Structure 1
Amino acid sequence: MKIDFSEYRKKVMGCWLGKAVGGTLGGPVEGICKPMSLTFYDPVPEEMMPNDDLDLQVVWLETLLRKGLPVNRKTLSEAWIEHIHMYWDEYGASIRNISQGIYPSASGYFDNGFTAGMGAAIRTEIWACLAPGDPALAVRLATEDACVDHAEEGVYATLFIAAIESAAFVESNRDKLIETGLSFIPSSCRVAKAVKDTIKWWHRKKNLHKVREILIEKHANQNWTDVAINMAFIILGWYAGGNDFNEILCSTVNCGHDADCTAATIGSILGIINPSSIGEKWLKPIGRDLILSPNIVGMHHRKNLDEFSEQITRLSCDVLKYYSSETSFGGAGETNYLRTPLNNNYTSITDIENNEALISTSPFPMVLEYPECIALKPEENKEFSVKIQNPFNKNIKIKLHVSVPDGWTLNNLDFNFVLGKSSLKKCYFKVKAPASDTIRAYRNPIDFTIEAAGLKWTVSAGLPMSIPWLCKRTGKVPEKCPGFSRKDKLKIIEAAGHFANIPDGPCVFTTDVKTPFDIIYRIVVQSNRETKIWIDGDLKNLHKGLFRVPALHRSEETQKDIALSRGWHRFTIALGNGKGGQLFTGIGYPGSWKWTENIEYRQPILK
């Protein structure tokens, strides 16, 4: 398929202008979960409102220009640590995982209460613009991005939008575009069901507010950034607004919830389909300066959207050629925007599951496969594997040595093999975690030392260990902090991360936590029932267990800012009567909203 390069450039510019307009319109009302009646900016801005929807894509562009192709999840995860100081929701969970050596895809899947958040679906435009008219390629690139901080529904929403935006470069029919998006995600997933319900109810009711109420009832939950309801609102606004940019944009934003993201996304789609549909009244107040959030650091970005768009259009020529896309440009001229990629065969190892992590891309791509739950319990002996790919056109003799920290054990330390040209080898080994009385260090490195072609180097990853809780049943929630002794009938609960399963009925949990600094921490404790929290015997918080969004910055009555000295502290949590559910306990910094990745735990020492 050949696309006229001059028309493509206009559509790319329309994409980013639509993104900026929608994000600026929706930014002031983000998180409002009731119907609204906006018809224009309120307040009217003097410049584009900075927004993570665009910020992250500026980071991705600089990363690609520096590191070259192919697009890969490991390089993007490194850019998170280097450039992005945004720690809310899925961003914070994945950054905590990456800091502990848990790389994507596992970084987006493990211990993440926001796998279905909007954070990746809002940053798809760069992948669509780099793969215009090739939705399969846009989906492939977007997958590398989304899996860093999402899994399943959050990834599906990303692929849905990326496919629509890519196809919009060559197709303008709304229904065909939506069908294209749906074709890349499971028909049984929540995102697909929400989209199909929206279309069904729109055709029956033809009323924005009535359809919105039906969708809220069926697809919304306490997390207003959940992808299912927000994908539904994007589609609802698209239908309700007819063919008018103003009406579609305002219909979308007035549905509420993650309104800056939904408006920015539909603005991008409309800007690609018809750049001239964005009226001057929307463009004049925001200008074209590229305004980034202060949380984005170490960047060397272009000063305005025009230059940013021009970089992307030139880079697209390299991307389409590198991935052998059927899309090509007419009138683009000769371009060579990127340095020569290191791993021309890397793309054959990108089918990486949720419990796997891309731990190296050069000189040999390597993928570590964890057990399904990823975290190991004390003395648990689980099978791991590491896949090593030879990207070179010759056989290579390899020596591989695996090592783990003291207290951990391996059943197979050394592997010697010849890796055929362009082939892949999978090495299996078992890892046994230390005993239950071991301090749960925040980072447990597993090191792979490789010798090949006269070189020797080490690739490292993390071995997460479960968080220990002691639990006992009670008749009711106690007034005072209950003690624990060896005489109690105790159940040991090893939680694979910050979410612990709760038994039926009233009960009390306890664990020991080591904090590294003398500062104020934000403690978030959530469950599905009455909850009471003591630290070192002092009552710190209590609530009814009605709110369950495990975020550091919007956890309402379930959060408390508490000054703690460095060292060990006893956390005791009493839970009222209820059936099952999960206990979430998180510790972070109130100023930055960052989870403390260097917190350590131990099973309480009892008398």
Structure 2
Amino acid sequence: MTPPGTPQGPTTADRILGGWLGRIAGNMLGKPVERGDYWTRDRIDRYLRVTGALPLTDYLPEPPPGTSAEFELRPEWRECVRGRIHGSCRDDDVDYAILGLHLLETHGFAFTTEQVGELWLLRMPYLQTFTAERAAYRNLTAGLKPPLTATYDNPYQEWIGALIRADVFGWTSPGDPVRAASLARRDAVLSHTGNGVYAAMWAAALVAAAFTAADAREAIEAALAGIPASSRFARAVRRTTALYDAGVPWSAALDELDREAGRLGWIHAVPNAGVITAGLLYGEGDFTSTIALTVRGGLDTDSNGATAGSVAGVLCGAAAIPPQWTHPLEDRVRSAVFGFDGTRIGELADRTARLASA
């Protein structure tokens, strides 16, 4: 009989590679439409209809001639739309996964929050950081120490930044969401507080739980175990699962979530948690459906697509991810992290797997 908590199905190494590939693919799917105040769910779906891309089963198509006034994609779109992808494009959602891997290789699992900050200063260019991370970076250069780095002159403390940094702690804690959440918290408090920290803990635990969970729903429930039940973040995730359980259609569920938390803004961790949770649940275990629904959900599309893709990739394993998502990546990742640009995705996954088995 297999002991409880033992990974089933694909090997742990294949699931870790699936997590890396899923994160990068989901990030690139959402990147052209990353601007939640402009790229609403309605605008995203109108773009997909105009380009004949509904249902969404591949990377976004490039804009038809004469549509730029109505559909203003991000400037990087030429590197991340179907037919133009040759390796991943650079993005902070992937940079922080790489930086987290380097952190664990350099300092081990007993790393301190101060060491996280030191590594940012050594390896991450200031202008490639944003919102809470940029505020914390600036505070580090001014000589502040955690937790002041998160609280001084930082209005972004509960935004999504710490959540996007959390996956590597889940990948290296397969089947152990408690450890994953603890590691993510130590990283997150450099730049975030409250729901921003809970978001990181949940994301790391969600990825870790996906190694042994039967499905996304089980992983979501396991990830919530370490989050204060009364927190706004936990309530948003539970509200999403309740709408799903009640049979509310995906679009109507997101309408309801927007009414309840939309005023927090499109980069805040709480409304984005609803979009990620909905993508995982309504995706019904299918990798393509999961990342497509998550990105179509709007808000911080590339970050949400990356997290949902990571979880979905761990659940199914790399071998089960459809090739239209992985082949264009050409096993190469672009990164602003010093010393990592052009690294093979497979190498990053191998290094992560070695840490997971340590």
TM-score normalised by the shorter chain: which range applies?
0.7 to 0.9
2:143 paired residue among 94, 97, 101: 101
Aligned equivalents of 2:8, 2:222: Cα separation in 1: 22
1:277-356 matched pairs, under 5 angstroms: 277-293=320-336, 296-297=337-338, 299-300=339-340, 303-318=343-358
Over 3 Å counting, the alpha-carbon distance change for 1:197 and 1:57 in structure 2 is same
Q: 1:2 Cα deviation (Å)?
A: 5.1
What whole-Å deviation, never above 9, does each CA across 1:240-270 have from its counterpart, x for those lacking one? 2223221121111001110001111111101
Task: Give the Cα–Cα distance (whole angstroms) in 2 for the partners of residues 211 and 4 of structure 1.
Answer: 32
Is 1:149 the counterpart of 2:186? The answer is no
Paired residue for 2:30? 26
Higher mean Cα deviation, 121-130 or 16-25?
121-130
CA contact (8 A) 1:185 1:192 kept: yes
Cα contact 2:31–2:301 (8 A) shared by 1: yes
* Residue of structure 2 aligned with 1:206, choices 248, 251, 258: 248
Corresponding residue SS for 2:312? helix
Contact 2:109 2:183 in 1 (8 A): no
Distance 1:315 1:218, change over 3 A: same
| Map of 2:59 onto structure 1 | 41
| Equivalent residues of 1:182, 1:192 under 8 A apart | yes
Q: AA paired with 2:347?
A: E
> Aligned partners of 1:2, 1:173: CA distance in 2, in Å?
15
Aligned residue for 1:11?
Answer: 15
- C-alpha change, 1:62 and 1:87, in structure 2 (3 Å) is closer
* Larger Rg computed on CA atoms: 1
Separation of aligned partners in 2, 1:7 and 1:261: 26
Q: TM-score, normalised by structure 2?
A: 0.83
Aligned equivalents of 1:61, 1:302: Cα separation in 2: 16
Q: 1:213 to 1:118 in 2, by over 3 A?
A: same
The one of 70, 78, 83 equivalent to 2:123 is: 83
Higher strand proportion: 1
Please give the residue correspondences for 1:57-68 in structure 2 after superposition, counting only pairs within 5 Å.
Answer: 57-68=97-108
| Separation of aligned partners in 2, 1:158 and 1:124 | 5
Contact 1:27 1:49 (C-alpha < 8 Å) held by counterparts: no
Tell me, yes or no, if structure 1 residue 264 matches structure 2 residue 306. yes
1:181 and 2:223 are equivalent in the alignment: yes
Aligned: 1:134 with 2:138? no
CA distance in 2, matches of 1:3, 1:217: 39
Aligned-residue offset at 1:174 = 2.4
| 8 Å contact from structure 1 (residues 202, 211) kept in 2 | yes
Greater shift in the superposed pair: 29-38 or 263-272: 29-38
Return the offset for 1:272.
Answer: 0.5
Q: CA deviation at 1:5?
A: 12
CA distance in 2 between counterparts of 1:3 and 1:283 reads 23
| Aligned residues of 2:280 and 2:312 also touching (Cα < 8 A) | no
Q: Look up the equivalent residue of 1:123 and give its one-letter code.
A: R
Post-superposition Cα deviations, 1:319-345, rounded to whole Å, max 9, x if no partner, equal xxxxxxxxxxxxxxxxxxxxxxxxxxx
CA RMSD of aligned residues (A): 2.0
Preserved CA contact (<8 Å) 1:62 1:300: no
Following superposition, the deviation at residue 205 of structure 1 comes to 4.9
What's 1:583 paired with? none
Q: Distance in 2 between matches of 1:160 and 1:241?
A: 19
Aligned residue number for residue 111 of structure 2: 71
Corresponding residue for residue 442 of structure 1: none
- Relative to structure 1, the CA distance from residue 307 to residue 5 in structure 2 (aligned partners, 3 Å threshold; closer, same or farther) is farther
What whole-Å deviation, never above 9, does each CA across 1:117-173 have from its counterpart, x for those lacking one? 111111212101111111111111111111111111000011111111111111122
2 CA distance for matches of 1:215 and 1:41?
26
SS in 1 for 2:329: coil
Partners of 1:220 and 1:226 within 8 A in 2? no
User: Does the 8 Å contact 2:335/2:341 carry over to 1?
Assistant: no
Equivalents in 2 of 1:123, 1:41: separation in Å?
A: 23
Q: Which amino acid aligns with 2:59?
A: Y
Structure 1 residues 236 and 64, CA gap change in structure 2 (3 angstroms): closer
Q: Which has a greater percent of helix?
A: 2
Equivalent residue number for residue 406 of structure 1: none
Aligned residues of 1:14 and 1:274 also touching (Cα < 8 A)? yes
Task: Write the distance in 2 (CA, Å) between the matches of 1:65 and 1:184.
Answer: 26
1:56 corresponds in structure 2 to 96
Q: CA deviation at 1:175?
A: 2.4
Shift of 1:313: 1.1
Question: How many residue pairs are counted as aligned between the two chains?
Answer: 315
Identity %, equivalent residues: 27
CA distance in 2, matches of 1:238, 1:60: 24
Partner residue, 2:70: none
> Scaled by the length of structure 1, what TM-score is found?
0.50
Larger RCO (CA within 8 A; separation ≥ 6): 2
